[in-house]
Structure 1
Amino acid sequence: MLDSKTCPVCGAIVKGRSDKKFCSKKCKSIDQYEHRRKTEVFYLEVDRQLKINRRILKKYNKSGYTVIRKSQLTGEGFNPRFFTHYWRNKRGDVYFFVYEYGFLSKNENGKEKYLLVIWQDYMAQ
């Protein structure tokens, strides 16, 4: 007597080869997608936040050099813990970059602000 196997995705009976696991290509694809989503959740969260940060920095830094209140950026979803690289100037200030858009945390007159810049060729040296 043959044992009938069921599809782990939809529960349908699996027909065909004895080592076949899924009832269809669709169910196999769903299983692979779910597995990837579970195993790469950290990567996907970081990638999502980097895209948000870049979009926000680009939106507010039209001129290439802008000062803006920290609360304005964080209110739109900007998270300064997510960046791609950093650059330290000769004075020791550390600019954090999200791809080509950078920010430096400053405190002016008791107000938290960011100085926004765009990556320049001389920074690569």
Structure 2
Amino acid sequence: MERLCLDCGTLIRGRADKKYCDDACRNNYNNRLKIEDNLVIKRVNSILKKNRAILASLNPSGKAKVTRKKLNSAGFNFEYHTYSYETQNGNTYIFCYEYGYLILSEDTYLLVKKEEKLWLT
């Protein structure tokens, strides 16, 4: 059975479990996989950072009410957030890092900022 290098497609000679013709092809193949993964991560992080910046700019005092239209016009992407938090009374806050929002009605949102102490060692 003929085996071809996963990177360049040339015929492989040697061990039966060999996947690449040489170390350069192995490195090229694995680096290409890393780059593709990193692009996805960079894209998602970019959206999260933008969402956080929008929430921070619309909420300078730590609590504010805004309309969905205002968030949309600023470019907020509701599909991306870092976590959600459900209170004891059943309200669900959606956060993008330390900034979050609570849906009050179809068009009104309460913006909040969660104060957390970060302990660096």
TM-score relative to the length of structure 2? 0.64
**Aligned in 2, Cα 1:87/1:39: closer, same or farther, shift over 3 Å?**
closer
Over the aligned positions, Cα root-mean-square deviation in angstroms equals 2.6
The correspondence of residues 1-125 of structure 1 with structure 2, limited to 5 A, is: 36-107=34-105, 112-120=107-115
Residue-by-residue CA offset, 1:14-58 (whole Å, 9 max, x unaligned): xxxxx795xxxxxxxxxx5x7644332221111010000000000
- Listed as ranges, the gaps of 5+ residues in structure 1 are 1-7, 9-18, 22-31
Q: CA deviation at 1:67?
A: 0.5
Please give the alpha-carbon distance, in whole angstroms, between the structure 2 residues aligned to 1:76 and 1:37: 30
Please give the alpha-carbon distance, in whole angstroms, between the structure 1 residues aligned to 2:90 and 2:115: 17
Greater strand content: 1
Please give the alpha-carbon distance, in whole angstroms, between the structure 2 residues aligned to 1:74 and 1:35: 34
Where has structure 1 moved over 3 Å in runs of 4 or more?
A: 34-37
TM-score relative to the length of structure 1? 0.62
Pairs aligned (count): 95
